[in-house]
């Protein structure tokens, strides 16, 4: 009886071991197949998934990146184009709710 329990435990352990081994090999095969598909290292996006995502998110409301105020169609963002060594960048100052040009550069552009 004791030997039978021992044998059963051994068989169960071997079954679990081979099941985990098969899971490891199927995962390794899937990774190898994925690497073989894209040898140049480019990230491939699923166009159908992208379409669904963009369909869900548009039209979306415009939000000021600084104060998170919801902007209507007429509201503008105040920004300055800044030339950088790696290319031009846009420096966002804010929207009509959070940008106060008189405070930021007092005496510089006070005519606006």
Q: Residues 68 to 87: which contact Zn ion by CB under 5 A?
A: 69
- From the list 2-10, 19-27, 50-58, 60-68, the region that binds Zn ion by CB under 5 A is 60-68
Tell me if 28 contacts Zn ion by CB under 5 A. no
Surface-to-core class of residue 40, CB atoms within 10 Å of its CB (0-12 exposed, 13-18 middle, 19+ buried): exposed
Q: Considering the complex, what minimum distance in angstroms separates the CB of residue 73 from Zn ion?
A: 16
Binder among 79, 98, 102, 106 for Zn ion (CB under 5 A)? 98
If the CB atoms of residues 34 and 68 are measured against Zn ion, the closer one turns out to be: 68
Would you list the DSSP string of 24-73?
A: HHHHHHHHHHHHHH-TT-PPP--HHHHHHHHHHH-S--EE-TTT-PEE-T
Question: What are φ and ψ of residue 88, in 5° steps?
Answer: -70, 145
Closest CB to Zn ion: residue number: 64
| Cα torsion 74, 57, 88, 90: sign | positive
Q: Select the span of 13-21, 36-44, 48-56, 94-102 touching Zn ion (CB under 5 A).
A: 94-102
> Among 9, 87, 69, 60, which Cα is nearest to 78's?
69
Q: Does 20 bind Zn ion (CB under 5 A)?
A: no
Binding site residues, Zn ion, CB under 5 A: 64, 66-67, 69, 94-95, 97-98
């Amino acid at each position: 009886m004791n030997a039978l329990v021992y044998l059963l435990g051994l068989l169960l352990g071997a079954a679990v071991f081979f099941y985990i081994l098969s899971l490891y090999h199927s995962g390794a095969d899937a990774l190898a197949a994925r690497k073989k598909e894209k040898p140049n290292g480019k990230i491939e996006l699923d166009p159908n998934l992208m379409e669904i995502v963009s369909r869900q998110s548009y039209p979306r409301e415009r939000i000021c990146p600084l104060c998170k105020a919801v902007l209507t169609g007429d509201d503008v963002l105040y920004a300055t184009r800044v030339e950088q060594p790696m290319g031009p960048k846009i420096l966002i100052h804010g929207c009509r709710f959070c940008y106060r040009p008189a405070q930021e550069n007092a005496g510089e552009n006070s005519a606006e």
